[in-house]
């Protein structure tokens, strides 16, 4: 049982949420936009949390925000606290309303295998939970959630504002998709610094802020964010840019006009999670949250 005496002096969840979102975006302004708060309010919340903890969480300059060692160590705990708080709120709301049978789950095609395992686990429950799987890129999944067309979504960050989330996991981007006629297509390995133009999956762009320059000058990022990496292979073939992709894309896409070259750069990854509107979650939806967490632990 948790020590309730420690909870009296615990920092507010709002301050922890501000810290986690600033850490995720490496930006106070983007965190403020995601939370629907002003930038000064987010800065004050982080400063208040630092005073409460007696720790400096960020190194700040006029152009950059970086986590300190203490901030990096506490980030995973902050996200766990927020996940638990979201699950607590969702369960309380579920208990307050009658449940509705069955759920519709939108999912990014890149994690289709994971979505299928979750659906099989729910089908094996007693009583079973019926799951309708709906493949959807980031924009489509956001539309499904905000218009009530899907109960939840397995999607990558940034998650839609106002939605609850849980069961975050990462998908490494291990290869670079390039046109087969590109000189890089014959390389044994390639670095992003060798690429003149880059297509970026949505959610990866903030990670590459301040990317290295290339042999041809600064790295040029394509203006559009890629919502579905599998579908974006057509853009690669058309010469719009190179695209960092996961091993799943390498294993499943076979076409003569695109080559997949292993990436030298390490640490590139997309963050996915289960996302749902917090209003009136059903008993089946909470079973989905539990099943998703169980599949992650297996």
Distance between CA atoms of residues 69 and 291, nearest Å? 33
Reported as a single tens digit per residue, the pLDDT across 142-170 is 999 988 889 999 999 889 888 999 989 99
Q: pLDDT grade, residue 2 (50/70/90)?
A: low
- What are the residues whose beta carbons fall under 8 Å from the beta carbon of 83, sequence distance 6 or more? 165, 166, 167, 168
Q: pLDDT grade, residue 274 (50/70/90)?
A: very high
User: For position 95, what pLDDT does the model report?
Assistant: 74
Q: Residue 142 class from Cβ within 10 Å (0-12 exposed, 13-18 middle, 19+ buried)?
A: buried
Reported as a single tens digit per residue, the pLDDT across 84-118 is 988 888 888 767 755 555 789 999 988 999 999 99
User: For position 280, what pLDDT does the model report?
Assistant: 64
Distance between CA atoms of residues 258 and 205, nearest Å? 23
Q: Residue 238 class from Cβ within 10 Å (0-12 exposed, 13-18 middle, 19+ buried)?
A: exposed
Q: Is the pTM of this model over 0.95?
A: no
Domains and CATH numbers, the chain: 4-92 (1.10.10.10), 97-163+272-297 (3.40.190.10), 174-267 (3.40.190.10)
């Amino acid at each position: 049982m948790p020590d309730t005496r420690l909870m009296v002096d615990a920092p507010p969840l709002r301050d922890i949420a501000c810290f986690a979102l600033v850490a995720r975006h490496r930006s106070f302004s983007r965190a403020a936009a995601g939370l629907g708060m002003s930038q000064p309010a987010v800065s004050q919340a982080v400063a208040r949390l630092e005073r409460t903890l007696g720790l400096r969480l960020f190194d700040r300059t006029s152009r950059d925000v970086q986590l300190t060692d203490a901030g990096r160590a506490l980030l995973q705990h902050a996200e766990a606290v927020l996940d638990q708080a979201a699950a607590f709120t969702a369960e309380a709301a579920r208990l307050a309303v009658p449940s509705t049978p069955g759920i519709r789950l939108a999912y990014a095609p890149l994690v289709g295998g994971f979505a299928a395992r979750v659906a099989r686990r729910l089908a094996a429950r007693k009583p079973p939970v019926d799951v309708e799987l709906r493949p959807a890129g980031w924009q489509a999944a956001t539309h499904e959630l905000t218009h009530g067309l899907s109960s939840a979504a397995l999607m990558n960050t940034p998650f839609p504002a106002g939605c609850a989330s849980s069961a975050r996991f990462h998908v490494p981007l291990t290869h670079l998709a390039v046109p087969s006629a590109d000189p890089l297509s014959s390389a044994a390995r390639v670095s992003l610094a060798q690429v003149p133009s880059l297509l970026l999956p949505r959610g990866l762009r903030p990670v590459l802020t301040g990317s290295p320059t290339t042999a041809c000058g600064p790295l040029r990022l394509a203006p559009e964010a890629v919502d579905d990496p599998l579908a974006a292979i057509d853009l690669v073939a058309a010469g719009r840019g190179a695209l960092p992709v996961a091993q799943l894309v390498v294993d499943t896409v076979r076409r003569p006009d695109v080559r997949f070259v292993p990436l030298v750069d390490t640490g590139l990854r997309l963050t996915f999670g289960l996302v749902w509107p917090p209003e009136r979650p059903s008993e089946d939806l909470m079973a989905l949250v539990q099943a998703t967490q169980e599949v992650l632990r297996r």
